[in-house]
A and B are shown apart, each in its own frame.
Chain A
């Protein structure tokens, strides 16, 4: 059973992003009030705000943690057309640490964008210290810190013009495959084509190339997220658009490294594993758990829904969490029946009676 704990965030406007660090014991929130707050989990399980500082001169859209190997590093991006890299400084003033406050220093300000920077994400650790940003004018920029000890130097490595206003991006975390980025667009014009583009880094020509456009997704995309890949042969991509979608990307080339296919682009078999409109309106966020087996999504209905694939690879809702802390299980009541109709691809369920029994049995589990 989920226990909800409300935290008085005291941001003065909307919170646009929350982000846990690698160990899940620190949390960063960013808001339109132009501040970032960092929260630490105390030993007695409470979240304590240990830093709050003004970061930008516009709404801060996203905040993200770097791998702790590079230090306590945050990146943020903002409506003010910049992205910034922040580092926590310890030990410089003993007084502040004793108050339980930590000090964050701006290490770099990335000012290349001409429009609002809508997303910022650190690349997977095995690629070194890389940072991707995307902006409302449709440009994805990839920066690299050549010296991981010097966070103030970032060189702009690549600029990809997606030709669509970008709203979100996600790195493919797999170390087994070529570097890959998915970029989502919040362009509302359905005739502008697919709103999710997949880019892959080609080692031979040292460029990012567009390998796929998901033509099935024509509505504005608010968030996308690759699932952690712990040895899966295919990639799972969750997309928050007017509904929740889960896409599998299976690389058709057998050899995973580029040497076998010099200069060529990877081909992918793209399948839609699931589509849910239970949020019944815009879906704003998707997030995977660490094993990439459970997906959380949140939408305009104010709920968080958890999705999991069963043994037949059918994705089902396993829980509904409301912002006020109440938890609803998916099996019971009307949503269950809804799911039966929507995602029952296995057939042969021996009548709905069996299913409902299963559902009610599950409800006792979930409470």
Chain B
């Protein structure tokens, strides 16, 4: 006794029954007789499905049926010829679990199997059988049934894993047109009720459902129709369905599907449900290399490459970095560097020595401040058109003025700072006026408390994106400075700066400012300025820059200032900043800068980052003579007592950069190897290895 896999009634002859069995035979029964009418030997493996051709009203198809087999074959039979199948073809790799003749298109036969595919075959007499459609599902397909009155729709359910019933549009073979997910176990059978909107299904969960198409889930509607991604350089990659505006340049893809095989009566009567749009996406990349664009990152690379963070006096570092920032048109950064220089380099010298003795230092201070004033002038007069060029010119033109003023110390006006604020005349004592400006910013930032540095905030908006910068607001802080900082005038009276040299004026005005704001009563020591009072502000500033996404500035300042900020920032946060910056540098492949930052972070007391350079830096190699793994340090192989770093091309010992192939351990001078590989693929040592240098 062998298990019968499938039975099937003849579509028109009520008493004719076909059965397929696991022994590989198909038997035809006439229900009026006890014995089987005929047996079909397919010489194939066990039968999985048998189906009569439903077009039995047509004489040609009256006798035809199909059987599907375990070995992937599909056999087409004529009832009158039980000894041999009319045609056969291999439809699937693996068992074919089911087949279904198309109810309208007489040439179409759908098959499905364990290989998770549903295939539609065109079976035309005397022509080769062709696969016309293929649907890849996610699980082996147990049953398929064409949807009545919908030429391209077929329902499927799977044998395993997937409990849902999917209706596919075979023209879109990737996403089910509709899905019914009521069953809680594997669905075992589907049948349509002559109506394209209603079908029945049964399942191993012991239920039979009657589904109505209204309840269907439409997976395609939930599928994400677009992709969007930023890259590190600020390019945007965007993929969108042609139907969603992405299709302005649609290349004919959005047109209606027009099948040439469509019978003419179908074409005359376009059923709205038969309409089909082929679905495609357009992929485009938006690039932007404009400096003003906030997403472009060129400034980051240039800044990282050009900043100087160590190896020179603090003031020079600040000056250099300010210059770098100025060249990139980042005025806020320029100001910050200049202020840092004033706070930590200029005043540090003052507080150390009491009176500045080095004229060069004084000169640097006034130079920088004139530069700064150039910025400020520029901004005050034409705040909407901050351009690098005018700025640079202004700074340059102001520089000589600053020097001459420095040589003429008899002219510093007492009341000028105040009048200079709204409209600073270019002939003013630059150093004096500017210092008030600069510190006014600080003062205001402090006074604002949680509001942050409004002045800082407004600057980048003017520099990079000149939008929403409202003149009224931009000016507001400056007016407040005047209202709230009367100190320069008052304090100028007791110690007139005419008596001391220019450099002292610098320190004095700072000191005055400090008295006015922080209220530190140190009148006895006018040249004293405690950097410690300002450094919390600097720390705040670092946080601010980090907040704004400019961790580069934060880290650079942190490293340049080094010990000045010692113990003022939690090491964890420092580490976070440093690592973020190192990561970002990695994004741009700025390995050299990243290594330098890592090295410097050891110096500023963040050893957890500093030790990164020591991680995974050893490379294990083999001797290039005897292939013994080199375990010791040094360049001598312990087995063959030879130096291992000889060049395979020139046979000299390589000093300096040594490249070698990790596959065969042979290598040498980089230019020799490069030259060799230009004409050869194999190793120069003659070992026969196809060396790969990545």
Contact = CB atoms under 8 A, between A and B. Distances in A.
**Are chains A and B native binding partners rather than an unrelated pairing?**
yes
A341 interface: no
A170 interface: no
A303 B245 contact: yes
B482 interface: no
A12 interface: yes
Contacts of B219: 79
B174 A2 contact: no
B579 A175 contact: yes
A90 B549 CA distance: 36
A323 interface: yes
B230 to A, nearest CB: 5
A110 interface: no
B246 interface: yes
A14 B281 contact: yes
A361 B468 contact: no
A97 to B, nearest CB: 10
Contacts of B285: 4-5, 7, 27, 47
Nearest to B580: A230
B90 interface: no
A183 B515 CA distance: 53
A172 interface: no
A262 B584 CA distance: 33
Nearest to A282: B225
B133 interface: no
B245 A13 contact: no
B251 to A, nearest CB: 9
Interface string A231-263: 111000000000000000000000011000000
A293 B294 contact: yes
A323 B457 contact: no
A2 B573 contact: no
A331 interface: yes
Interface stretch (A31-39, A150-158, A197-205, A267-275): A31-39
B461 A322 contact: no
Interface string B205-233: 00000000000000100111111111111
B554 A298 contact: no
B517 interface: no
B642 interface: no
B511 to A, nearest CB: 31
A22 B232 contact: yes
Interface stretch (A100-108, A210-218, A307-315): A307-315
B297 interface: yes
A76 to B, nearest CB: 13
B606 interface: no
Given A6-B283, A22-B586, A296-B236, A324 B228 contact: no
Interface string A31-53: 11110000000000001000000
Given A19-B229, A318-B465, A358-B466, A291 B384 contact: no
A125 B239 CA distance: 27
A113 B652 CA distance: 60
Interface in B25-50: none
Given A14-B281, A17-B224, A288 B230 contact: yes
B576 A175 contact: yes
B286 A3 contact: yes
Given A2-B287, A61-B224, A284-B224, A14 B472 contact: no
B246 A302 contact: yes
Nearest to A119: B224
A23 B589 contact: yes
B224 A16 contact: yes
B467 A362 contact: yes
Interface stretch (A127-135, A138-146, A347-355): A347-355
A161 to B, nearest CB: 19
A302 B172 CA distance: 22
A337 interface: no
A224 to B, nearest CB: 13
Contact of A20 (B161, B229, B384, B584): B229
A308 B543 CA distance: 19
B241 A287 contact: no
Contacts of A358: 466-470
Main secondary structure of the interface of A (DSSP, over half): loop
A310 B461 contact: yes
Given A32-B223, A284-B226, A304 B286 contact: yes
Interface residues of B, number: 91
Nearest to A330: B467
B548 interface: yes
Given A11-B280, A256-B572, A304 B238 contact: yes
Most chain A CB within 10 A, of B224, B232, B240, B466, is at B224
A149 B284 CA distance: 35
Given A321-B236, A321-B238, A365 B292 contact: yes
Contacts of B469: 358
B357 interface: no
B467 A290 contact: no
Contacts of A125: 583
Given A31-B281, A231-B577, A293 B241 contact: no
B286 A14 contact: no
Contacts of B137: 57-58
A229 B461 CA distance: 21
A257 B546 CA distance: 20
Interface string A275-293: 0000000001111111111
B467 A361 contact: yes
Given A318-B467, A323-B246, A354-B472, A287 B279 contact: no
B238 A81 contact: no
Most chain A CB within 10 A, of B227, B458, B584, is at B227
Contact of A1 (B247, B288, B473): B288
Contact of A81 (B138, B468, B692): B138
A9 interface: yes
A15 interface: yes
B237 interface: yes
B468 to A, nearest CB: 5
Given A231-B577, A290-B230, A293-B548, A323 B467 contact: no
B470 A350 contact: yes
Given A230-B549, A285-B228, A304 B236 contact: yes
Contacts of B231: 20, 24, 27
A13 B241 CA distance: 9
B457 A311 contact: yes
A32 B175 contact: yes
A308 B464 CA distance: 12
B279 A3 contact: no
Nearest to B181: A115
Contacts of B236: 2, 287, 296, 304, 321
B450 to A, nearest CB: 12
B295 interface: yes
Interface in B541-567: 543, 546-551, 554
Contacts of B245: 301-303, 322-324
B636 to A, nearest CB: 30
Contact of B136 (A19, A31, A34, A349): A34
A176 interface: yes
A127 to B, nearest CB: 13
A159 interface: no
Contacts of B283: 6-9, 15, 18, 29
Contact of A11 (B224, B235, B281, B589): B281
Interface string A332-367: 000000000000001011100011001101100100
20 contacts: A4-B285, A13-B174, A29-B227, A57-B136, A175-B579, A230-B546, A230-B551, A230-B577, A231-B576, A232-B547, A284-B225, A285-B226, A285-B227, A290-B297, A311-B460, A321-B236, A323-B246, A349-B470, A361-B466, A361-B467
Given A5-B284, A354-B470, 9 more contacts: A2-B286, A61-B224, A229-B580, A303-B245, A314-B468, A331-B467, A348-B473, A350-B471, A362-B468
| For the complex of A and B, 5 pairs with smallest distance between CB atoms | A302-B245, A231-B546, A311-B457, A24-B231, A291-B549
